[in-house]
A and B are shown apart, each in its own frame.
Chain A
């Protein structure tokens, strides 16, 4: 199944059935989790091995790998505490996946339970997944997915999105990807894409020059980045399906691209007129108009979720600071006042905050601030230089780069700065991570 077109068709045919039962179908209103509380208690959830229906090798494999993937995905969000399987009281292979023994699960501390059943034959996988509320003793979600065995991960991602939608009120991060810069391939800085959890990293440039600052379009079809492949820093807009590239190679530089949410347009800083100013471009790299102009450096645009406002960095007041411009009125407000070096703004998916990189006491750290400039909170402390913050599409997490272990690597943390951990496992150095929107195909 190497052919992506064939795979896409099968995904298109992926059958999703609602398994009948007492299902709480009020998406987002089943409000178990207070996500605005940084000290929130993690939700204890049990994910026993999936039940192999006929017991063939493929099913046993899915039982193991599938339940592991589901546990990892839920654990990754930071909302769940996945209970260790060693504590389980019952042999799930023998029990009914549709009617769990609730007491046996509440006894080991599980407030929620996911059961799975895998049926595999003739290169087709049928995966039945259910979420139960063990305290109120009822089924919350039941889904059956059918597709090629290669789509197992996709099925599980989709079910996790259902869980998130029901318990948190949004579809989470499972259909998102992370673009970043890595020297792990040729030793030069090339552009890579990994899954939301840092797995399956793949290289999308191989020009052995310097490639920087990737940003993926809302539809997941294009990645814009700065490349020296032509001898100077130009803007490249690369189609991920056919690898075709539109190049903006005007005089000077074309740097720090950022796509407009939901549109085939992007903003970038171009310096052909003398100093770097921010322009709006079509997805093919044609200039639409100039957005930001000041004497001095203007760069690093980042749009509000509705695209009506844009945060950016300007040196107009003598040091790099974060500003916001209203796209319609052109009105500009300064957001950061503390410190002499505030750069790399990234507007939160909820629209209320901006995360950025701030230099203080000779160290770079990640700071989050309200769009009105109030309530700045430093999220990283005493752990090398921390740069390039980018929100997950649900606003629950932030990916960033850090030199805490020596060379720059990629890390994630919750939006409150907790649970900081390495994300991408590659050799060399990784930098400039950018979290893509959720892209479902």
Chain B
């Protein structure tokens, strides 16, 4: 019974000693470790920053390229839309190409040269005045006269076909000169 008490007393002395030793050792190591860690963090931060900058630059480049590509696409699309939407207009009962008509056809020729593989349909249209069969014939003359001009500009005749709609497909149903002028047209369609 007495022996047990001694062990407990001895433990009471030894244990705090052990505890003290341990805490002293810890204190001695700590300053060195903290210095090393600070240096390491700075490097890491710099690297991350650089990577971030690089990434930003890369992103910017990509974005620029994308914008550029989109702009180019838009341009191609705009050119294509202009090709299809810009009509060549004619005077009443005429298939003669005036200077405006010729300059529009020149820009059409440019487009067709850049897009030689796009098969094109030229539609000839008339205003509602005039009789049905005659307007079919007049519409055909209009489409053919636009086609002949483009052939003279160096476009292959084989890449173009013509169709007359006479007075059957007006763009403006109005019954006035403004509407009629819009309807007297050669209209370009990409097949």
- Listed in ascending order, the chain A residues whose CB lies under 8 Å from chain B are 189, 210, 212-213, 226, 231-233, 252-253, 255-256, 269, 271, 274-276, 297, 299-300, 313, 319-320, 340-341, 343-344, 357, 359, 362, 364, 385, 387-388, 431-432
Contact = CB atoms under 8 A, between A and B. Distances in A.
Given A233-B164, A253-B164, A319-B93, A344 B140 contact: no
Nearest to A189: B168
B133 A213 contact: yes
Given A343-B131, A357-B131, 18 more contacts: A212-B166, A212-B168, A226-B136, A252-B140, A253-B140, A253-B164, A269-B133, A275-B140, A275-B141, A275-B144, A297-B137, A299-B134, A320-B93, A344-B131, A344-B133, A359-B129, A387-B131, A431-B132
B93 A297 contact: no
A187 to B, nearest CB: 13
A362 B136 CA distance: 20
A330 B155 CA distance: 40
Contacts of A297: 134, 137-138, 141
Contacts of A269: 133, 137
Given A189-B168, A276-B140, A297-B141, A255 B133 contact: yes
Chain A contact surface mostly: strand
B136 A233 contact: yes
Contact of B129 (A226, A274, A319, A385): A385
Interface in B103-135: 129-134
B131 A253 contact: no
B164 to A, nearest CB: 6
B133 A364 contact: no
B151 interface: no
Contacts of A300: 131, 133-134
27 contacts: A189-B168, A210-B168, A212-B136, A231-B163, A233-B166, A253-B164, A255-B133, A255-B137, A271-B140, A275-B140, A276-B137, A297-B134, A297-B138, A299-B134, A300-B131, A320-B93, A341-B93, A341-B130, A343-B131, A343-B133, A344-B133, A357-B131, A362-B129, A364-B129, A387-B131, A431-B132, A432-B132
Contacts of B134: 297, 299-300, 313, 320, 343-344
A255, A340, A364 interface centre (most CB from chain B within 10 Å)? A255
Nearest to B133: A256
